[in-house]
A = this chain, B = another copy of it.
Amino acid sequence: MKWCRFQSGSNVAYGVIEGDRVTAVAGSPFESHTRTATSVPLSGVKLDVPVIPPTFYAAGVNYREHVTEMAHRRGVKPEFPPQADVGYRANNALIPTGEAIVIPKDATELVQYEGELVAVIGKQCKRVSEARALDHVFGYTLGNDVSERTWQRGDRTFWRGKNTDTFKPMGPWIVTGLDPDALRVTIRLNGKEMFTYAVKDAIFGVRTFISRMSQYLTLYPGDVLWMGTDGATENMKDGDVVEVEVPEIGVLRNPVVRER
């Protein structure tokens, strides 16, 4: 199933996408819900971020080539994470597909994409095994972990380097029933393929993160876990369009605008 959130009149509603139509749903996919009589063409709706997470988790550095390449550029030795230690991003920065990534005036040119898979938690869980971890995932969507690299370096908490408003595109919708290890992420800039990688090449997979996190914390329905990106990342500039695609999910597409 494909679940979205969209502007329905003056409200934001969850919806189920079937073919080229969206049926509005009363309630949320994580609780009791019922289909309404409202069905509209997908092409005519304004999509919103598919979920507002109670807690917004991010794996951070989680792919070898990304770690190696980014360390190489900075002239330092690559350091791989010893364990699945999760980090955080912030809800203020979320934007849906279609909305502009806005680069602040005082940012350098080093504003870069990071296209990644996002696991959306469906069921509350604590202390789950790796074997049972995926039972608590509702579905998957896509994220672009936009980063201003000079701010990121001086910014222990990533508050500005990664969480400036509009720096966290997420969407276009959530797809259920997928095997994360079978997916491949492709990143395009202005239509040109910049990098493609297999999700399963992660240093730590979705199962490992969920199991380890849940030894200490409770995961709640709607929490999101961004899985990190692979490969080198490049600068985005005013007028660019960046896309993150997993064919089984869809395309997260955002234009880039620099503030004047």
Q: Which of B54, B86, B157 contacts A91 (CB 8 A)?
A: B54
* Interface pick from A109-117, A158-166, A176-184: A158-166
Given A159-B86, A159-B87, A93 contacting B217 (CB threshold 8 A): yes
Q: How many of these chains are in the complex?
A: 2
A106: nearest residue on chain B (CB-CB)? B215
A92 close to B60 (CB less than 8 A) = no
B216 close to A165 (CB less than 8 A) = yes
Q: How far is the CA of A52 from the CA of B222 in the complex (A)?
A: 14
Q: How far is the CA of A156 from the CA of B88 in the complex (A)?
A: 11
- Residue count of chain A within 8 Å CB distance of chain B: 28
Given A54-B91, A55-B92, A91-B54, A85 contacting B159 (CB threshold 8 A): yes
Given A126-B165, A165-B126, A92 contacting B218 (CB threshold 8 A): yes
Minimum CB–CB distance from A27 to chain B (whole Å) comes to 16
Binary interface encoding of chain A residues 211-241 relative to chain B, with 1 for a CB under 8 A from any of its CBs, else 0: 0010011111000000000000000000000
Contacts of A90 in B (CB 8 A): 55, 88, 217
Minimum CB–CB distance from A104 to chain B (whole Å) comes to 6
Minimum CB–CB distance from A154 to chain B (whole Å) comes to 8
Q: How far is the CA of A213 from the CA of B213 in the complex (A)?
A: 28
A92: nearest residue on chain B (CB-CB)? B217
Q: How far is the CA of A159 from the CA of B219 in the complex (A)?
A: 13
Let me know if A18 is at the binding interface, CB within 8 A. Answer: no
Q: In A38-92, which residues have CB < 8 Å from any B CB?
A: 52, 54-55, 60, 85-88, 90-92
A85 close to B155 (CB less than 8 A) = yes
Contacts of A160 in B (CB 8 A): 85, 216-217
Contacts of A218 in B (CB 8 A): 92, 165
Q: How far is the CA of A183 from the CA of B85 in the complex (A)?
A: 37
B157 close to A216 (CB less than 8 A) = no
Contacts of A216 in B (CB 8 A): 104, 159-160, 163-165
Q: How far is the CA of A220 from the CA of B165 in the complex (A)?
A: 12
Q: Which of B52, B54, B87 contacts A156 (CB 8 A)?
A: B87
Question: Can you name 17 A-B pairs with beta carbons within 8 Å?
Answer: A52-B54, A55-B90, A85-B155, A85-B159, A85-B160, A86-B157, A88-B157, A88-B159, A90-B217, A92-B217, A92-B218, A104-B216, A160-B216, A163-B217, A164-B216, A164-B217, A165-B218
